[in-house]
């Protein structure tokens, strides 16, 4: 049940899962009934077949496409292959998993926040919080610190245009902060339509957003 066997079967014209089953049966038959015959085959010949088969399985076009889409993913792929060839399969696979985990951790811990207070005709100060990156629970302290910089009584608009992801914890922090901010006469305005479709399910049930004014007073 390994990918090399499946890929070799597909390249040989296999059409169903029966090919992998038969492949295993032939191996079993040769090991049990024809072991002396197998010993006659030079190890170098078997190694040559493995190298040739492995080389044919390399998808160079797929790697080029991956490099264009995500260089970090391609780099992880390349490092994994090198470690597998130089060291062994297990070390290479573990290396790939560790590098992928580090990449995900970095991606989901990157959040850029900025506050701007342009001039506004109304008497209430209007502040915009621009968010870019991924707002996850890992960045809760950063988001909380930025919200503390908002002046009491200000009308805070949250801009999600450059945001890739936001989790429930960060949305709950915004909702809880809004309740405290309203006590000072301020207001939190969120344009839910600016969120990506996948983020709309994260909308808390604590309040119903208004198309014109975003978050209503709690």
- pLDDT score for 97: 94
- pLDDT score for 1: 55
Per-residue pLDDT of the chain (218 residues), as tens digits, is 567 778 888 888 888 888 888 888 998 999 999 988 888 999 999 899 888 887 887 888 888 998 998 888 999 999 998 998 898 888 999 999 999 999 888 877 788 898 887 755 555 678 889 888 888 888 889 999 999 999 888 889 888 878 888 888 888 999 999 999 998 888 888 877 766 544 554 444 444 443 333 443 33
- pLDDT score for 51: 85
Q: What is the DSSP string of the chain?
A: --HHHHHHHHHTT--STHHHHHHHHHHHHHHHH-HHHHHHS-HHHHHHHHHHHHHHT--HHHHHHHHHH-HHHHHHHHHHHHHHHHT-HHHHHHHHHHHHHHHHHHHTT-EEEEEE----SSSS-EEEEEEEEEE-GGGHHHHHHHHHTSPTT-EEEEEEEEEEEE-HHHHHHHHHHHHHHHTTT-EEEE-GGGS-GGGGGG--TT-PPBTTTBSPP-
- pLDDT score for 211: 38
- pLDDT score for 217: 35
């Amino acid at each position: 049940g390994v990918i090399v066997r499946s890929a070799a079967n597909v390249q040989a014209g296999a059409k169903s899962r029966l090919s992998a089953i038969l492949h295993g049966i032939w191996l079993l038959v040769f090991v049990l009934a024809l072991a002396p015959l197998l010993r006659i085959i030079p190890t170098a010949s078997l190694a040559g077949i493995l190298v040739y088969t492995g080389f044919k399985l390399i998808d160079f076009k797929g790697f080029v496409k991956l490099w264009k889409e995500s260089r970090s993913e391609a780099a992880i792929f390349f490092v994994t292959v090198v470690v597998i060839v130089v060291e062994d399969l297990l070390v290479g696979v573990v290396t790939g998993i560790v590098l992928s985990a580090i990449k995900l951790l970095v991606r989901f811990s990157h959040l850029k926040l900025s506050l701007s207070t342009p001039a506004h005709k109304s008497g209430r100060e209007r502040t915009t919080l621009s968010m870019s990156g991924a707002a996850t629970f890992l960045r809760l302290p950063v988001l909380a610190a930025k919200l503390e910089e908002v002046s009491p009584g200000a009308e805070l608009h949250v801009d999600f245009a450059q945001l890739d992801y936001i989790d429930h914890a960060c949305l709950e922090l915004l909702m809880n902060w809004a309740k405290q901010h309203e006590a000072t006469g301020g207001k939190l305005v969120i344009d839910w339509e600016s969120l990506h479709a996948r983020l709309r399910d994260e909308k808390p049930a604590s309040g119903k957003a208004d198309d014109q004014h975003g978050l209503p007073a709690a």
